[in-house]
Structure 1
Amino acid sequence: MRSRIFTISFFIFMIIMWIHDPLLAQVKNSQLPRIPSSLRMLDEKRYLTNSQAVSPLAPGATQALPPSSSLPSTGSPNAYQSGSSLTQSSILSQQGVVNTQGSDVSQPTIDSAQQQESQSTTSTLNSETIQIPDAGLQPEVLSSIESAFQDISLAHSPADEGAPLMALHQFGYSIFNRNISTFAPIDNVPVGSDYVLGPGDELRITIWGSLENTYIQTVDHYGRIYLPTIGPVRVWGLNFSQAEKLILAHLSRYYKDFQSSVTMGHLRTIRIYIVGEVAQPGAYNISALSTITNALFAAGGPNKTGSLRNIQLKRNQHMVEYFDFYDFLLHGDKSRDLRLEAGDVIFVPPIGSIAGIMGKIKRPAIYELKEPIRINDLITMAGGLTPQSYLKRVQIIRTKPNAEREVIDLDLTHAEKDGTTPKGIELQNGDLVIIYPTDPRIYNTFSLNGSIKHPGEYEVKPGITIRQVLPPESLLPEAYLDNVEIIRFKDDLTTEVIHINLKKLWEDEHAQDIFIQPHDLITVRSEFKAPESITLTGEFKRPGTYTIQPGERLSSVIRRAGNFTNVAYLKGAVFTRKAVQVREKEMLDQFVKQYEEGLLAEGQALLSYSAENRSIRELEIAQRRQQLKLIASRVTLGRIVIHLDTIEKFEGSQNDLILQDGDILTVPREPVEVMVLGSVRNPTSFVYKNGKNIQYYLNRGGGFSKAADKKEIYLLKADGSALIGFLKLRNIDPGDAIVVPPKIEIKDWTWIKDVATIAGQTALTFAALSILL
């Protein structure tokens, strides 16, 4: 018995594991980084073949990567902020396949071509696909400093209405977000005379004259080069100019009547260290020509929590230089951008005091303050004011220590009583300066429009009048001079319309002229009236659009069009008019609105009905509403039913209408069919048979269906008229339509249930009484 229980339990356990095993595998796989095969092969190739790497940012720069434990994780803000790309190399580095700090230069590193190649790949990590951005501007996220200033700027934004508010960014850091080709590796770098030689530098010595030869020598670890016949020559520590003179002096001892030239070949690399608040701290192998700026670009630049104005260069445990990157960015000054030497340390300390400026300024941003500055200095640092800057309203949003914020309003155009100016106010850490815009409205103009040669806005000059503004030569020939309108806005915000007769004003010099005031709107109407036209389409000898004269009739235009063609079907003519279309549209909308209101009232009255009664009535109302929409959508608006005939008979008849602008007359060819529509068994078109009545065509359509409403049949003639009654006696013409509408009936049988209920209750009552009696 126990063995059976154990066997059954074991099988149940195996089934559960078999079911859950794929799920566990999915969870397990989702927690591990997935490496594409193409990316894995790419990095294996890099690891095996890359023996000497070059940084993409500094001449000859390579980075000796820090230990894997110091690498930032993919989720760290520093890794994302520096714009570094997550590649297979970073995954391998976390597994120990990296260059440790202090490793030999020949160990595998990451070169520029590989970085550019890896930037177009996609790595999958934690079941999420991360698109590696291409080379160029990396996505920029707000730092904690920028977020704090954004909170203030959103509450005190001077942005124009409807214009998007741009977030303030820290000045200078965006230059490190893109790969600058200026700092890419260069083979032939011009070397100045002050370049100091060292081990690894290559010299090319060319001799011509009594002998011709070229010697390529590399400075060895002892600082010497070897010249034939002469022997070793020590050049370590000499600058390029001194070394050239020394080599020429040695050559002159053994050779006569010659000339020589000394140039630099491949330059040596040096190892320097970049630490502090930088994107990628560590040891870097860079060209001996590299400066502080080149090294910063190689390391991805300082973080936004790092200083750009107090970058320190240390050499042999001594401070060599304080480099202010703002000097380079704002003034192009690189005088303090010293050339680096082996073993130098570049330290980027945390950022110092900061202040932001926004609004009508040329370069709104958040700036680092190297020393206490005043508001005028910050404006100069931001590029200066714009023409729209309003100096009478400048605000400083200041955050008090351990307290609330305060607003300081300044007028930079006036000096204080003690002789000081608001421009001299010293800024504090975290201040935000807002330069508000001037009033965008214009107050000293008036407007001219209408039949004027040069309409537009004009300046209101002192004493300017209508006679001066509208001389005869300024108007168009069709200008209406008897009534020129001036719309004037009063001080109480009401409007006044002034009418002027320009003819009288021009003819009578003593006529009272009117002075122009700001915001006057002067309108000169036109006497020009656009010609009216009618369009003839279909079976006319010369169809087209014809210009009509006032009072011209339809027969006149038909004659101008050359009369009808021989195949014209006059009974099917369609005449539409714009004015009728507008009126019918208004009437149709009003009818639909009233009908909808009636249906709505009926729906509200259903609240007192029983549930079954209410559902039946709601269905009926829904069908009526649907039928109303269908009818409204199929109504032809603007059509006037006319009866065309030969031009001789039509001319002068009641159907010979006086034409209006936009009228359209369409005359089709004679049709050969009669349509049968609606509730018949086979609604379609049938060939016209002369002399046949309506019953013939209904029979051809299979007769009435069960839903046909026989009492509502009507005949729709080709000219648009509808006929009812005595339809069997009516003549059927080509193009006519026989319409059989459906019968809509909703029978309410709920009263039968009510009667049955009452009858049942009555029967029970009588039965009970009979039992009691």
Structure 2
Amino acid sequence: MTARKVRSYRLGLVLLAFFICSQAMALETQLLGNKEDSELPQPGVPVFGQSLFRGAFKDQPFSGFNPDYRITVGDQITLQLWGAYSFNATLPVDPQGNIFVPEVGPIHVGGVKNGALNDFVLRYVKRVFKKNVQAYANLEASQPVKVFVTGYVNNPGLYNGFSSDSVLYYLDSAGGIDPESGSFVDITVMRGGKPIQKINLYNFLVKGIMPSLQLRSGDVVVVGSRKGSVTIKGAVQQAAQMEFIGPYTQLGEVLLVTKPDPQANFARITQVVDGLRQASYLPLTEAMTMRLYPGAQVELVRDNDIKSISIRVSGELDGPATYVMPYGATLNELMIRLNFRENADQSAVQLYRKSVAEKQRAALDRSLDALQMEVLTRQPNTDLEKAAQKDNAAMIQNFIEQARKAEPRGQIVIANSPNAVEMLLEDGDELVVPLKPSTVSVVGEVIFPTSLVYSKKRTLEEYIELAGGFANNANQEELIILHLDGTISRIEDRDFDNRLGDRLRPGDEIMVMPKIHSSELQVTKDITEILYRIAVGTAAVLSF
């Protein structure tokens, strides 16, 4: 085999090996890109910055005057001398960083800024020609270089250019960053195996800032893998998939890049946190500091332009924890989309609504305000009444303080209502599907609040005895049964030792209320109303 054939054969092996490696890298890139498919936002929303690489940089290599460019080996400098001595030539910068000027000798121009080149050369010329000689030095062409571009780009390889060309030129020459697997915020320039520059293209896209960097032959531009990202859309100036570095970002940081519409005033945020899918609808001012995790979906809306609502579901269900429904959707439209588990109790579905909780809170506050006014404005007739009222007022003030801490659940009772399925849903509603219950709870003023296995044969009195009996402060004249579906039953003492049939069902809470110690009929009535309101609204008994 001739030497030429041997060289051709070796070249073929090298090209084959390069092809195999390239295919392996392409496959690895594809697999890596598919690892985080669950984090890729909705189709149709572009990656922020993906339109940057459409040939505008590779078709326009930089050849203009850059005053900050530093002269390096291989550059071509045009030098003209006139006056007492004439000279005109284009001089290369040699490996030592010098140009050689006849009659003057070597001038070390390596590292000199382009903007200072003419004055720098003239000073050296004046050392030889004291008078009547002028000089003009100009960078004719920067050094041709070959730069590797690799990582998550469309066409990794070795590309020709000039040392004055920016990183954008070489990225564009490599077909740009792969928007599905490549990072726009994690680009590294390597030299001699060591990183010399980190580049975040968002700084260029938003602020026009690009690091001033002179590339050399053999430099490597490495595009890292895509980092965590969030999708932002709706009332924004540019819907986009926004990338960030770190475990999370904040909405305010994202909006520094993709600006909100001036009319946007609410944010709908859906994301997975600790394995649980969460949905929030917040005023934009409150949402700015909210943490956004990889895969988060953010929609900015105008409060008069709501097109969809988010409903959170939990309990005995398979499927997503949040459903996005069209504005105006009904409970029935949600129910037919749910995948109930075998042991789900569909007859006791619970619906909680923030606006209802706010109304319950407001009603409770009004009752507490009225009670406080009643106690504070009552005028005693005697010193004995005055002393008694002081003790009574202190006790009631303590009760009011405790009652104000109660947090209503906002449950909507949908049982026994044939029209409930036609009820319109609201954004932020929460639907809970309980497990088919087999126990009854006894809470409130008993010795040992507990849960007991349900039995049709047991009476209320027997359940109370199994819970240790009534506490000293128990109201033994009436009990409340809070059913799983949100309805209530009030049972008088004459029925305590009777079997209740359907009035007591699995999953119910037997609530033993406290006895009211007050000599004032109106105060007793007000406190009783508040206690019942708290019991029904919060599923808890407040001691008095």
TM-score bracket, shorter-length normalisation: 0.3 to 0.5
Q: Which one scores higher on RCO, CA 8 angstroms, separation ≥ 6?
A: 2
User: Greater share of strand residues, 1 or 2?
Assistant: 2
